[in-house]
Amino acid sequence: MTGRLTIVGLGPGDPRWLTPAATEALASATDLVGYAAYIARAPEAPGQRRHGSDNRVELDRARFALDLAAKGRRVAVVSGGDPGVFAMAAAVFEAVEGGDPAWRDLDIRVEPGITAMLAAAARVGAPLGGDFCAMSLSDNLKPWEVVEARLRAALQADFVVALYNPISQARPWQLGAALSIVAEARRPDTPIILARAVGRPDERIAILPLSEVEPSRADMSTLVIVGASTTRWIERREGEAPFVYTPRSYRACP
Ligand code: SAH
């Protein structure tokens, strides 16, 4: 039997956001590899082996999965959201590039999922309606100077900016530093969306003007969207959250 490795996106949490193709890839796998909390989201399949691990050792996990596939197993590596967005797919290809040359001949596929940014945007309106970009604020894999330079450039270009990995216990100050940089470039009433655990039972969404955002309102399950200069609020009746959208047309350079 020829081995296969599919890196499967589970979406942000709501099982209805798992694509039928991803469901099929999970069901036909002999082995699931990934962070235990993600594996738990995959429906049980008879005879399937589940290899849960903690979240830190992505490259080791990728090598382990490639090794199983090389032995002829049908392996699904699971990832939250989309596996290509700050997640396991890049780790697998990094392992392939630097690893056993035989791994290059394996049947390796990526099964996309809804990434957190899209799920968060859908909850509040259409903040990604104009040009936007996405960044990870994590400085585990790149120096903070790079994060800062890219954020400044994105703000200068007037993109809407989606910030993944905004804060964690190990990285407590980065979101505050990023918001200070945002405040140099954007008006105080710029809409900021803090979308926590979208699609999970503990979902919490806040839309705040930049001047009122406290980094402590975000955690590692939060996706932050920073509006562009053109991003607008549509106020609604008392007690209702506003809609936030970014028009597609752009009249003049900021
Ligand atoms: N591959 C994932 C992203 C992994 S990076 C995806 O495509 O969504 C991890 C970061 O993603 C978190 O720190 C958070 O910023 C964001 N994230 C993942 N799931 C989320 C969810 N359900 N709600 C809000 N943000 C989420």
DSSP labels, the chain: ---EEEEEE-BSS-GGGS-HHHHHHHHT-SEEEEEHHHHTTSPP-TT-EEEEE-SS-HHHHHHHHHHHHHTT-EEEEEESB-TTSSSHHHHHHHHHHHS-GGGGGSEEEEE----HHHHHHHHHEETTSS-EEEEE---SSS-HHHHHHHHHHHHHTT-EEEEES---SSS-SHHHHHHHHHHHHS-TT-EEEEEESTTSTT-EEEEEEGGG--GGG--TTEEEEE--TT-EEE--STTSPPEEE--S---S--
Q: What is the pLDDT of residue 57?
A: 81
C-alpha span between 128 and 116 (Å, rounded): 12
C-alpha of residue 166 to centroid of ligand 1, in Å: 10
Question: Does ligand 1 have an atom closer than 6 angstroms to the CB of 138?
Answer: no
Report the separation in Å between the CA atom of 252 and the middle of ligand 1, taken as the mean of its atom positions: 33
Which ligand 1 atom is the nearest neighbour of the CA of 113? Answer: 7
End-to-end Cα distance, the chain: 59
- Given a cut of 80, whether residue 254 has pLDDT beyond it is no
**Does the C-beta of 80 come closer than 6 Å to ligand 1?**
yes
State whether the beta carbon of 221 lies less than 6 angstroms from ligand 1. yes
Question: Closest ligand 1 atom, CA of 84?
Answer: 1
Summarised one tens digit per residue, pLDDT across range 41-77 is 998 899 999 999 876 689 999 999 999 999 999 999 9
Residue 216's contacts (CB-CB under 8 Å, 6 or more residues apart) are none
Expressed in angstroms and rounded, the spacing between residue 79 Cα and the centre of ligand 1 is: 10
Q: State phi, psi for 56 to the nearest 5 degrees.
A: -85, -30
Q: What's the pTM value of the predicted model, to 2 decimals?
A: 0.96
Q: How far, in Å, from the CA of 100 to the mean position of ligand 1?
A: 31
Instruction: Say yes or no: CB of residue 13 within 6 Å of ligand 1.
Output: yes
Do residues 48 and 32 touch, judged by C-beta distance below 8 A?
yes
Q: Is the pLDDT of residue 253 over 70?
A: no
pLDDT value at 1 more than 80: no
Mean pLDDT calculated for residue range 198-226: 97
